[in-house]
Structures are given as C-alpha cells and as structure tokens.
C-alpha cells in the first residue's frame, strides 16, 4: 500500500472515529469533510470494513438528499489494557471508543518475583479476560501494558522501576497477547493514567499534572491535551521531588522524596497500619475506616502526606507553569481528608497558583492506567489503520 493511500485511510478513519457522539457520518459526508472524492472514500471505507475496524449502521441524513449508510467504529473489535504494579496485576478489555467491557485484577506482591514470572502471571490473566471478551463476540486486536517505572517503549525495556526492583529489564511483550495484529505496546503507568484523564475527564483544563498514588508516587504532565514526556521521556516524575532534604532514603537512591512521605506504604506506616499482614486493598480499607472514625494516627498520617504533596505541587506548578492537578490512585481515595492540608500547603507555598477548583480527584479508580494504555493503542490504530492489513 502506497504512502498516499495509507495517509488517506487514516484520514477517513479519523473522521469516522472522532465524529461527535451519536453522529454516524456517511461516505458522502466523509468525502465532503476530507476533500477526497466519493469514489476514493468508498474504496477506503471498503478496506476499513474488510479490516473489521468500522461497520455500517443505520442511515445518515445528508441534507435534502437521500439518506446514506452511516459508519462507526466496530464495537466487536477491542484492545486489551494491562498494568503491572508493585502489589497487583490487572487486565481489561476496552472497545475502540474506550468503553471498559471486562476487567480483572489480581493482588500479588511482585517485588520478590522475577520479571518473567510476573509477565507469565499477567499473560494468564490477559488470556482469561481475552477469552471472556471472545465469548461475547469481541476480538482483541492488540494491547498496551503500563508499568510503574521509566521505560524504553521502542525496545520493550523497563529502564528502571525501583519499587519493583527492576533495572534494564527486557520484556517479552508478544507473549502477553500472541496472535494479535497490533501486538503489545509499553507505557509508563502514570503517563498512561494521565492520557486516560485527557479522554475521560468530563471538563476542565487540557493542561494539567496527573499525580498517581500507589506504593510509589508517579506523575504525568499533559500540555494542551498532549502528554509531555521531555527529551528522554522522563518528565513529570513528581514523586521524586525532594520535599524533606534530610528525610528518609528513597527507592530511587535519593532521600527525602515525596514518595517517602506520601507513598502508600509511607502513609500506612505513619498510620500504624500493618500492611504486611493484609493485601493492599484491605490496608486501604482499614485506613479509610480509621479516617472516617477520626483515629488520630490515621488523620495525622494523611495530613502529613497532604502537606508534603502540596510542597511538591507548589514547586512543580511554578517550574512548569501548570494551573490544574488531577489526583489518582490512593490520593483520590483519601481526597476528602487529604484536600484540606494539601490546599493549605499550596496556598502557603504558591499562593493563588493552583485554585482549589483546579485540584480535582480522578474518577477512573484503579483502571486509569490500563484505560490510558489501551486508549493509546487505539489512537495509534486510528493513525495507522494499514497495520491491520499487513
């Protein structure tokens, strides 16, 4: 397939994929919007139908003329989003419009395990979710994997994931989703979750910092609706902003990072919750219960985390000139108790820089990273639909 046809194929698919909700453009409408001839659009649409990425639906009124057959993304095609984190793995199927069709999460401590062992467990979970989707007539075209560390996506390598204990680890991504036309792409967890916010936020600024709270603390910087990763792909690492110069050692090799006082384990320890005797979700449930009951140690641990989170965000806001923040992971869960000390800290260290209404909690829950990874794969498909024909 020539470059011009590839470009036109993406142009046509983009017009169909990004049509407003409830709008199903016809071939003639796509031709009018793209400037391509009706004959060219009809040929390109036939290719997309043959690839299974779009389908015909109903009739679309075309002004005073005869109604045409509408076109939309095929809901029987999907991608698989996956995540490896310190204490869980998850896999979820989303259709090409981003709707989550199936989701499975398995809590497990991934720190003592080799990367290959963790990947094998994720492959089994992915096969289970993929089979569930297939039972509903949904075909998975490819997938995206999010991990909590710095990655070289092109080489399928985790450069460093300190909380997992991984360094320069090559991942066999093909083993996760064998026999899929798009394969599996690799993403940083916080960056993927930030991209999910771009798509799923009901409203708000298109320039914001997403802060991911897990065992570690990650960040994703979105500018004008696009993820900004910097020249080496490492921008947004707010979890390793130093907030206590003489503080505790951090997994990154430094000391006094935000992660050491606002990471999940740091909050549990300060609250007196024995996380080693429970799963992550059980420990978080205990923390929330104690916060609701007003247990002093729980309240003080979250107050401390919020105060230092405010310090890190104030510094980041001044350096990067962001005006909005989205809190994810455990920060979203404990937002009712975290918010007051966080906003007080922001006002103290960066008065007026981040108004309270511009600091919001994510509504995506634990699925944010895998939704973002899956969504990125869909966007890549829309930009290069010819990949399905190779």
Which residues pair with residue 60 across a beta bridge? 68
Which pLDDT does position 90 carry in this prediction? 96
User: Rounded to two decimals, what is the model's pTM?
Assistant: 0.88
Which pLDDT does position 357 carry in this prediction? 92
Please answer whether residues 78 and 165 qualify as being in contact, where contact means their C-beta atoms are separated by less than 8 angstroms.
no
Give the C-alpha separation, 161 to 149, whole Å: 4
Which pLDDT does position 1 carry in this prediction? 64
Which pLDDT does position 63 carry in this prediction? 53
Nearest to 279 by CA among 110, 122, 115: 110
**Segment 5-64, tens digit of pLDDT:** 999 999 999 999 999 888 899 999 999 999 999 999 999 999 999 999 999 987 655 555
Which pLDDT does position 66 carry in this prediction? 58
Which pLDDT does position 61 carry in this prediction? 55
Average pLDDT taken over every residue of the chain: 91
Which pLDDT does position 64 carry in this prediction? 55
Nearest to 144 by CA among 384, 308, 377, 349: 377
Segments in the chain below pLDDT 50: none
Which pLDDT does position 251 carry in this prediction? 84
**DSSP line for 265-301:** HHHHHHHT--GGGS-HHHHHHHHHHHHHHT-HHHHHH
How deeply is 232 buried, as exposed, middle or buried, from its count of CB atoms within 10 A (0-12, 13-18, 19+)?
A: exposed
Q: Residue 14: how many CB atoms within 10 A of its CB?
A: 17
- Please name the residue that has the structure tokens 């390109």: 44
Which pLDDT does position 293 carry in this prediction? 96
Question: For residue 274, what are its two tokens?
Answer: 């024995």
Which pLDDT does position 51 carry in this prediction? 92
**Segment 90-136, tens digit of pLDDT:** 999 999 999 999 999 999 989 888 999 999 999 999 999 999 999 99
């Amino acid at each position: 397939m020539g470059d011009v046809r590839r470009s036109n194929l993406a142009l046509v698919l983009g017009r169909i994929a990004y049509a407003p909700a409830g709008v199903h453009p016809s071939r003639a409408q796509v031709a009018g919007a793209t400037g391509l001839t009706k004959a060219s659009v009809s040929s390109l649409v036939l290719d997309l139908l043959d690839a299974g990425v779009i389908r015909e639906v109903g009739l679309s009124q075309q002004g005073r003329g005869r109604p045409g057959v509408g076109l939309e993304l095929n809901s029987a095609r999907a991608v698989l989003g996956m995540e490896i984190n310190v204490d869980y793995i998850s896999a979820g199927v989303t259709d090409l419009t981003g709707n989550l069709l199936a989701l499975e999460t398995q809590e497990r401590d991934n720190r003592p395990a080799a990367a290959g062992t963790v990947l094998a467990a994720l492959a089994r979970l992915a096969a289970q979710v993929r089979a569930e989707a297939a039972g509903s007539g949904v075909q998975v075209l490819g997938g995206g994997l999010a991990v909590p560390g710095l990655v070289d996506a092109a080489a399928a390598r985790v450069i460093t994931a300190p909380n997992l204990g991984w360094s320069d680890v090559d991942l066999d991504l093909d083993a996760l989703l064998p026999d899929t036309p798009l394969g599996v792409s690799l993403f940083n967890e916080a960056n993927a979750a930030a991209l999910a916010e771009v798509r799923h936020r009901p409203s708000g600024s298109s320039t914001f910092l997403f802060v991911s709270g897990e065992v570690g603390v990650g960040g994703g910087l979105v500018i004008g609706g696009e993820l900004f990763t910097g020249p080496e792909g490492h921008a947004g690492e707010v979890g390793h902003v130093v907030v206590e110069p003489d503080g505790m050692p951090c997994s990154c090799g430094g000391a006094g990072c935000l992660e050491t006082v606002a990471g999940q384990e740091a909050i549990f320890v300060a609250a007196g919750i024995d996380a080693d005797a429970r799963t992550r979700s059980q420990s978080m449930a205990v923390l929330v219960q104690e916060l609701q009951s007003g247990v002093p140690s729980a309240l003080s641990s979250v107050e401390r985390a919020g105060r230092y989170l405010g310090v890190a965000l104030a510094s980041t806001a001044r350096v990067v000139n962001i005006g909005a923040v989205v809190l994810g992971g455990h920060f979203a869960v404990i937002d009712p108790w975290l918010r007051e000390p966080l906003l007080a800290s922001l006002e103290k260290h960066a008065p007026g820089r981040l108004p309270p209404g511009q600091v919001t909690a994510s509504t995506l829950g634990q699925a944010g990273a895998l939704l973002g990874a899956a969504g990125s794969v869909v966007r890549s498909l829309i930009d290069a639909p010819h990949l399905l024909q190779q």
